[in-house]
């Protein structure tokens, strides 16, 4: 082949190659192009399927294109596979879970079929209401395997409801009626009130519910008077905010969950509109109610009425005669609404509710109705709430807490104050355990009112919450003072603890110190005006303390309950409006004066056994009228006390009883029981001072000047009691042989007392020299001389009964030495204590003590107890300090120069009964008598 032809064939081959390569590339491009077109067509269908919805596309593929188009087929297959994957979890577990959830959140009538409960009156717990209420069965028709599940909506204070009809208002009525029947049937009649307004109809809306109207449970509002209904609802909101929610709770629901009861009924307002807008101001008021109503238990159900609020709202959109979509289930789920019960059945059920409500309202409520079924279920963290009476069969509650810390109760004698207190205390002690509530109870009038809360001879039970019971304290105003002092001190202690936890209030302290025991304290003072009866230092201090406790008690959980037949006469009180203002809760019994605000005359018109309960400082709009059950009749309070007593915590001790009409027993006194021998610091117990713990009045008898005691007064029973108690208590602190007693009866009439004490001391193993009148000079001379020779080897106590009776004898001077026994006595008084010799003597008047002391200093008598002696007479013995004291029967005034800044009142011991037969319980005699008369 020529060179030329060879080149040509190479060129041709190259071209051939090029052609082949181009053809291959073009083929590949065409293939790629075709595949992109296919992909594109499928994606196009996928988009349209997504727009139409997978289920709709599967049902009607023709809507999207040629059903035979394989692109459409592929897109549909992919969409269905994707849907199956997405629904897999739901299909597997969703409906079952929802069934469970609705059964749990919607117990009883909230979700069960009507036939299970309709016609029965509900008793559901209003403090823990259902969260969901069933409306029908839903399913998602477009899901791979549609399964029914319950559709339910929240109601009451959880959410409002908006219903939009599809031009079939009857279905809306059915939905609303079913829902209301479920709610009304769940709770005690009266717990839910319904308001209905229908723009189009005067009557006829919700006909099945009409039987409720007669009982006042349903109010049908005139179509032209929407304003009235909105105003009524707004009033409720205002009132609830100003009362129940003042304590810091954000909603009635939260308050009820904490208190365990609901004091306000729910109010459901159903508004049937016609799709048109309301007037601007009506719309705004409706929005306001929607915003604030739920917290106050007011729910709106708006049908074809626009409502836009930020608070919780669910919606139901009706889509046909019996179907709907709801915001709860989402737009994919179709709800088949529950078939309503027949109109007759609905009306019958509502009649039953109305009748039960009327019966509840009319029934006579008793003390037992104040007591909850389960005892001690409440916590007092934010306050104390208890029913005290009934209005139309429904309980009326009192609230002691931050907003109304203290109570003032007024009513003339016999109007039922004590009975009211019993009812209130019963309702509280039944709800709160002794770890949540402590009681301090004081009655200034004569009688035994609170004594039954302490153990008695025939009945050993006591009220486990009671720490202190004071009865017959009318003459012992100091006991009221002692209580206030105690409360003030307790307040300080609580504030101190709170500070350590860097908080200020008891409520916060309890949160910070959950293990601590911080009960609320209720201090009741019946006939408290006695405490302020005189213009004296007691009133002055009581006023000051009361002001302190009234002002600061609120944050430390200390609540005062003051009752009086006449508050108007309490000058100290009215002069200090700051005190009075703290008593926000006012309770007025029939004909009470000045307890409520001046213009509020409601107490004057009250029938017997009723009370005005007012949590707003007595202003009229705060009035609640309650009938008060009998709490003091036979077998009312006592069975409750017994149950509470049986549940008392381990280690619970009976309350201390202070009974002004009985004297204390030395042997019962803790301070006496605790004395042991030997002791380094002997002290003589003289009587009992007036305080909340029942402390002994004691005089330490150490080796220092002035450690002698003068008992001054003419009443032998009292003075010998003091000397006797002193001797017995000293005897208990020494082993036999380590103390000496010398007892001299210088008056004929004391022989018996001297003999008794001598016998008691001797039977305890002690040495006692009994000195007769004629031997007193020699005895005193001997003792005085012993001082010069080093004093007594063991403590030596001289019990001198009626020193002044021997004045003339004692003054007689020895013809040789010119020294009298009186000089010796003075020497013993002056120098004896350092040598362990102490004089415990009785003089019949202040002057006679002075006669004994002569020109010597009164300091040699370091301690004294005076009976039937006026205060001003005692001034020389208090370093010139004025003593405000008028003698009272069976009360003395006690002063120990080394310990006191001013004298204090002393109750002598009842030593005589001490030697009588043993009586086990402290309850007062009168309580026993009353108990017996009740039997």
Which residue of this chain has its Cβ atom nearest to ligand ATP in the complex? 416
**Which residues from 877-906 bind ligand ATP, rule CB under 6 A?**
none
Compute and round to an integer the Cα radius of gyration of the chain.
Answer: 44
Express the helix, strand and coil content of the chain in percent, nearest 5 each.
45, 20, 35
**Which residues from 177-216 bind ligand ATP, rule CB under 6 A?**
none
* 137 vs 632 by CB, closer to ligand ATP: 632
Look up residue 244 and give its two tokens: 């129940």
| 413 near ligand ATP, judged by CB under 6 A | yes
| 416 near ligand ATP, judged by CB under 6 A | yes
* 308 vs 933 by CB, closer to ligand ATP: 933
CB of 661 to ligand ATP, least distance (A): 16
> Which range, of 496-504, 624-632, 829-837, 875-883, touches ligand ATP by CB under 6 A?
624-632
| 630 near ligand ATP, judged by CB under 6 A | yes
CB of 443 to ligand ATP, least distance (A): 9
Is 460 part of any known ligand binding site? no
| 609 near ligand ATP, judged by CB under 6 A | yes
> Which range, of 12-20, 503-511, 630-638, 658-666, touches ligand ATP by CB under 6 A?
630-638
> Which range, of 328-336, 337-345, 415-423, 847-855, touches ligand ATP by CB under 6 A?
415-423
| 628 near ligand ATP, judged by CB under 6 A | yes
CB of 866 to ligand ATP, least distance (A): 34
Backbone φ, ψ for residue 774 (5° rounding):
-70, -20
Binding test (CB under 6 A) with ligand ATP, winner from 159, 244, 403, 419: 419
* 561 vs 825 by CB, closer to ligand ATP: 561
| 417 near ligand ATP, judged by CB under 6 A | yes
Q: Of 764, 763, 832, nearest to 800 (Cα)?
A: 832
Is 417 part of any known ligand binding site? yes
Q: Of 576, 600, 574, 575, nearest to 586 (Cα)?
A: 600
Backbone φ, ψ for residue 39 (5° rounding):
-60, -45
- For residues 785 and 850, give the distance between their C-alpha atoms in angstroms, rounded to a whole number: 23
* 632 vs 717 by CB, closer to ligand ATP: 632
> Which range, of 41-49, 363-371, 414-422, 859-867, touches ligand ATP by CB under 6 A?
414-422
CB of 535 to ligand ATP, least distance (A): 24
| 590 near ligand ATP, judged by CB under 6 A | no
Binding test (CB under 6 A) with ligand ATP, winner from 137, 322, 632, 738: 632
- For residues 152 and 175, give the distance between their C-alpha atoms in angstroms, rounded to a whole number: 11
- For residues 288 and 29, give the distance between their C-alpha atoms in angstroms, rounded to a whole number: 69
Region for 311 from its dihedrals, namely left if φ exceeds 0, alpha if ψ lies in -120 to 50, beta otherwise:
beta
| 90 near ligand ATP, judged by CB under 6 A | no
What is the separation, in whole angstroms, between the first and last Cα of the chain? Answer: 152
- For residues 711 and 729, give the distance between their C-alpha atoms in angstroms, rounded to a whole number: 16
> Which range, of 328-336, 408-416, 854-862, 874-882, touches ligand ATP by CB under 6 A?
408-416
Backbone φ, ψ for residue 785 (5° rounding):
-70, -35
Size of the site for ligand ATP (CB under 6 A): 16
Strand partners, 688: 696, 907
Q: Of 472, 477, 469, 377, nearest to 427 (Cα)?
A: 377
| 914 near ligand ATP, judged by CB under 6 A | no
Is 880 part of any known ligand binding site? no
* 366 vs 717 by CB, closer to ligand ATP: 366
| 426 near ligand ATP, judged by CB under 6 A | no
Is 790 part of any known ligand binding site? no
* 67 vs 414 by CB, closer to ligand ATP: 414
CB of 416 to ligand ATP, least distance (A): 3
CB of 370 to ligand ATP, least distance (A): 11
Is 835 part of any known ligand binding site? no
CB of 463 to ligand ATP, least distance (A): 17
CB of 458 to ligand ATP, least distance (A): 21
CB of 662 to ligand ATP, least distance (A): 20
What are the residues whose beta carbons fall under 8 Å from the beta carbon of 486, sequence distance 6 or more?
A: 440, 691, 692
- For residues 244 and 857, give the distance between their C-alpha atoms in angstroms, rounded to a whole number: 66
DSSP 3-state assignment of 262?
A: coil
Number of Cβ atoms within 10 Å of the Cβ of 816? 6
> Which range, of 11-19, 531-539, 628-636, 876-884, touches ligand ATP by CB under 6 A?
628-636
| 411 near ligand ATP, judged by CB under 6 A | yes
Is 275 part of any known ligand binding site? no
Is 456 part of any known ligand binding site? no
Binding test (CB under 6 A) with ligand ATP, winner from 42, 205, 415, 719: 415
Is 134:329 a contact under the CB 8 Å cutoff? no
CB of 634 to ligand ATP, least distance (A): 10
DSSP 3-state assignment of 158?
A: coil
Is 447:926 a contact under the CB 8 Å cutoff? yes
Is 343:191 a contact under the CB 8 Å cutoff? no
| 406 near ligand ATP, judged by CB under 6 A | no
**Which residues from 720-739 bind ligand ATP, rule CB under 6 A?**
none
> Which range, of 20-28, 413-421, 672-680, 838-846, touches ligand ATP by CB under 6 A?
413-421
Which runs of consecutive H residues, i.e. helices, occur in 789-892? 807-811, 821-831, 846-853
Strand partners, 374: none
Is 185 part of any known ligand binding site? no
Is 357:213 a contact under the CB 8 Å cutoff? no
Look up residue 454 and give its two tokens: 């302490």
- For residues 869 and 269, give the distance between their C-alpha atoms in angstroms, rounded to a whole number: 75
Per-residue x/- mask for ligand ATP, residues 443 to 482, rule CB under 6 A?
A: --x-------------------------------------
- For residues 265 and 126, give the distance between their C-alpha atoms in angstroms, rounded to a whole number: 9
Binding test (CB under 6 A) with ligand ATP, winner from 414, 569, 736, 857: 414
- For residues 271 and 233, give the distance between their C-alpha atoms in angstroms, rounded to a whole number: 13
CB of 603 to ligand ATP, least distance (A): 13
- For residues 754 and 118, give the distance between their C-alpha atoms in angstroms, rounded to a whole number: 85
> Which range, of 231-239, 428-436, 623-631, 859-867, touches ligand ATP by CB under 6 A?
623-631
- For residues 568 and 574, give the distance between their C-alpha atoms in angstroms, rounded to a whole number: 8
- For residues 272 and 304, give the distance between their C-alpha atoms in angstroms, rounded to a whole number: 7
What is the enclosing helix (H) or strand (E) of 837? strand 837-843
> Which range, of 21-29, 365-373, 629-637, 640-648, touches ligand ATP by CB under 6 A?
629-637
Number of Cβ atoms within 10 Å of the Cβ of 8? 12
* 299 vs 449 by CB, closer to ligand ATP: 449
CB of 393 to ligand ATP, least distance (A): 16
Look up residue 75 and give its two tokens: 């897109």
Q: Of 595, 577, 594, nearest to 586 (Cα)?
A: 595
Binding test (CB under 6 A) with ligand ATP, winner from 205, 565, 716, 878: 565
> Which range, of 120-128, 398-406, 480-488, 626-634, touches ligand ATP by CB under 6 A?
626-634
* 569 vs 736 by CB, closer to ligand ATP: 569
Region for 819 from its dihedrals, namely left if φ exceeds 0, alpha if ψ lies in -120 to 50, beta otherwise:
beta
Is 452:927 a contact under the CB 8 Å cutoff? yes
User: Cis (ω within 30 of 0) for the bond into 234?
Assistant: no
Question: 673, exposed or middle or buried, with CB in 10 Å at 0-12, 13-18, 19+?
Answer: exposed
Site of interaction with ligand ATP (CB under 6 A): 411, 413-419, 445, 565, 609, 628-630, 632-633
Q: Which residues are annotated as a binding site for ATP?
A: 411-418
Q: Which residues are annotated as a binding site?
A: 411-418
């Amino acid at each position: 082949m020529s060179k030329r032809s060879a080149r040509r064939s190479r060129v041709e081959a190259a071209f051939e190659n090029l052609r082949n390569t181009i053809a291959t590339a073009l083929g590949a491009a065409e293939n790629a192009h075709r595949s992109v077109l296919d992909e594109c067509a499928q994606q196009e269908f996928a988009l349209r399927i997504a727009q139409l919805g997978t289920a709709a596309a599967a049902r009607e593929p023709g809507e999207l294109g040629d059903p035979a188009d394989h692109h459409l087929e592929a897109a549909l297959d992919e969409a269905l596979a994707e849907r199956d994957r997405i629904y897999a979890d739901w299909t597997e577990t969703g409906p079952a879970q929802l069934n469970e959830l609705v059964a749990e959140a919607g117990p009883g009538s909230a979700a069960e079929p009507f036939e299970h409960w309709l016609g029965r009156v509900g008793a559901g717990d209003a403090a823990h209401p259902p969260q969901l209420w069933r409306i029908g069965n839903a399913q998602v028709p477009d899901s791979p395997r549609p399964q029914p599940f319950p559709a339910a909506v929240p109601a009451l204070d959880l959410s409002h409801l908006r219903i939009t009809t599809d031009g079939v208002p009857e279905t809306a009525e059915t939905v609303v009626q079913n829902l209301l029947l479920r709610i009304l049937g769940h709770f005690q009649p009266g717990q839910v009130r319904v308001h209905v307004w229908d723009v189009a109809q005067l009557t006829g809306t919700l006909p099945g519910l009409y039987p409720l109207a007669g009982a006042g449970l349903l109010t049908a509002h005139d179509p032209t008077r929407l304003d009235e209904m909105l105003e009524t609802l707004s009033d409720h909101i205002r009132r609830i905010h100003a009362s129940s929610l003042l304590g810091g709770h954000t909603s009635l629901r939260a308050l009820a969950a904490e208190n365990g009861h609901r004091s306000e009924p729910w109010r459901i307002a159903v508004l049937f509109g016609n799709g048109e807008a309301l007037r601007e101001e009506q719309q705004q008021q409706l929005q306001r109610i929607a915003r604030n109503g739920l917290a106050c238990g007011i729910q709106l159900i708006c049908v074809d009425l626009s409502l836009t609020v930020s608070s919780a709202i669910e919606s139901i959109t009706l889509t046909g005669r019996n179907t709907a979509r709801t915001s709860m289930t989402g737009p994919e789920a179709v709800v088949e609404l529950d078939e309503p019960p027949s109109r007759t059945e609905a009306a019958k059920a509502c009649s039953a509710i109305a009748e039960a409500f009327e019966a509840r309202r009319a029934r006579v409520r008793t003390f037992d109705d104040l007591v909850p079924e389960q005892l001690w279920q409440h916590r007092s963290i934010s306050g104390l709430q208890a029913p005290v009476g009934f209005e139309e069969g429904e309980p009326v509650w009192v609230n002691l807490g931050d907003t109304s810390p203290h109570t003032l109760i007024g009513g003339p004698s016999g109007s039922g104050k004590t009975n009211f207190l019993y009812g209130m205390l019963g309702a509280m002690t039944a709800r709160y355990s002794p770890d949540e509530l402590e009681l301090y109870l004081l009655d200034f009038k004569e009688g035994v009112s609170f004594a039954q809360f302490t153990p008695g001879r025939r009945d050993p039970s006591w009220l486990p919450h009671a720490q202190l019971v004071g009865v017959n304290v009318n003459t012992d105003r100091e006991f009221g003072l002692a209580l206030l002092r105690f409360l003030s001190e307790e307040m300080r202690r609580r504030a101190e603890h709170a500070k350590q936890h860097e908080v200020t209030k008891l409520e916060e302290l309890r949160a910070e110190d959950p293990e601590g025991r911080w009960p609320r304290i209720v201090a009741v003072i019946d006939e408290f005006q006695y405490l302020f009866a005189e213009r004296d230092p007691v009133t002055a201090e009581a006023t000051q303390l009361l002001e302190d406790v009234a002002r600061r008690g609120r944050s430390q959980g200390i609540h005062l309950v003051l009752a009086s037949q006449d508050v108007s006469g309490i000058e100290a009180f009215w002069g200090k409006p700051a005190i009075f203002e703290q008593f926000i809760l006012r309770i007025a019994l029939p004909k009470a004066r000045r307890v409520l605000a001046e213009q509020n005359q409601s107490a004057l018109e009250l029938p017997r056994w009723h009370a005005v309960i007012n949590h707003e400082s007595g202003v009229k709009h705060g009035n609640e009228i309650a009938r008060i059950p009998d709490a003091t009749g036979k077998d009312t309070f006592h069975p409750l006390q017994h149950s509470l007593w049986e549940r008392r915590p381990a280690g619970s001790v009976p309350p201390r009883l202070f009974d002004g009409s009985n004297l204390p027993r030395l042997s019962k006194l803790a301070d006496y029981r605790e004395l042991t021998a030997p002791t380094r610091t002997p002290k003589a117990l003289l009587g009992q001072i007036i305080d909340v713990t029942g402390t002994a009045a004691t005089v330490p008898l150490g080796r220092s000047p002035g450690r002698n005691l003068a008992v001054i007064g003419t009443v032998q029973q009292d003075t010998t009691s003091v000397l006797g108690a002193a001797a017995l208590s000293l005897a208990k602190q020494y082993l036999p042989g380590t103390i000496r007693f010398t007892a001299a009866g210088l008056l004929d009439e004391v022989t018996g007392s001297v003999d008794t004490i001598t016998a008691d001391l001797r039977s305890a193993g002690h040495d006692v020299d009994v000195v007769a009148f004629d031997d007193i000079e020699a005895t005193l001379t001997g003792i005085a001389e012993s001082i010069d020779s080093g004093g007594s080897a063991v403590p030596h106590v001289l019990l001198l009964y009626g020193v002044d009776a021997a004045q003339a004898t004692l003054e007689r001077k020895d013809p040789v030495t010119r020294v009298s026994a009186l000089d010796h006595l003075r020497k013993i008084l002056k120098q004896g204590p350092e040598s362990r010799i102490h004089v415990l003597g009785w003089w019949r008047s202040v002057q006679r003590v002075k006669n004994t002391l002569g020109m010597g200093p009164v300091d040699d008598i370091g301690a004294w107890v005076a009976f039937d002696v006026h205060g001003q007479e005692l001034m020389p013995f208090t370093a010139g300090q004025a003593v405000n004291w008028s003698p009272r029967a069976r009360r003395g005034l006690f002063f120990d120069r080394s310990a006191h800044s001013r004298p204090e009142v002393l109750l002598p011991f009842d030593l005589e009964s001490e030697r009588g037969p043993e009586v086990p319980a402290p309850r007062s005699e009168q309580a026993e008598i009353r108990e017996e008369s009740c039997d």
